Amino acid sequence: MSLPDVMFAHPRGLAGRLGGLIMARLSGARNAWIISLLDVQPEDRVLEVGSGPGAAIQVLADLARNGTVVGIDSSPLMLRQATRRNVRAVRAGRVQLRQGSALALPFEDASFDKALTINSVQIWPDSFAGIKELQRVLKPGGLINVALQPVWAKADAEVRSIGDDLVELLQRAGFQQTRLEFKPMKPMACVCALGVK
């Protein structure tokens, strides 16, 4: 397994801890933009799949202050970091963090108002199955945001093409009112595919 995989895709050990710190520190501006597209309301129930070290969870919890924010991640290490980062909200019951997979979300149908995933859809074993699971747990009219900052891309045109593929994935899963948002940033542009259930 490569060092980037151990640090970011499937974090574990010392390299994973370091990867979590890097993800949390360098993602602030990107996460703020991605989350702004969801228009999170104070009473919303929000799900983040692939929540990593919990940096986006922290922002979401501030917005959904009378609601609930749930983070799912497959890495116990990332869940520990996310819990430490969000300890007050966890203790207050406003944030829940669980180990799990995008392919088998442990929630009832129509449980969430908003759902997002940031930089994780590309490592799911089956991205279509994961998107269908997100659709299942969203309420009718619920909003999804599948965000990706593909640092492996060579140019903005390639990032836009990746974004178009994400929009097509949402459409195939049955989402309506799909659209693509694009933002230039460092080290590479970011795209968000959005849709309504």
**Tally of domains in the chain:** 1
Q: Is residue 5 part of a domain?
A: no
pLDDT at 98: 96
- Residue 14 lies inside a defined structural domain of this protein: no
Tell me what pLDDT residue 47 has: 98
Residue 127 domain flag: yes
* 97 in any annotated domain: yes
Residue 181 lies in a domain: yes
In a domain, 105, yes or no: yes
Q: Answer whether residue 12 is part of any domain.
A: no
147 three-class SS: strand
pLDDT at 185 over 70: yes
Half-sphere exposure of 65 (CA within 13 A, CB side): 2
In whole numbers, what is the pLDDT of the chain averaged over residues?
A: 89
The CATH number linked to 40 is 3.40.50.150
pTM for the model: 0.86
Angle, alpha carbons 115-120-122 (nearest 5°): 120
How many angstroms from the chain centroid is the CA of residue 98? 14
Domain residue limits at 162: 27-196
Backbone angles phi, psi at 95, to 5 degrees: -125, 135
pLDDT of residue 187: 86
Domain annotation covers residue 104? yes
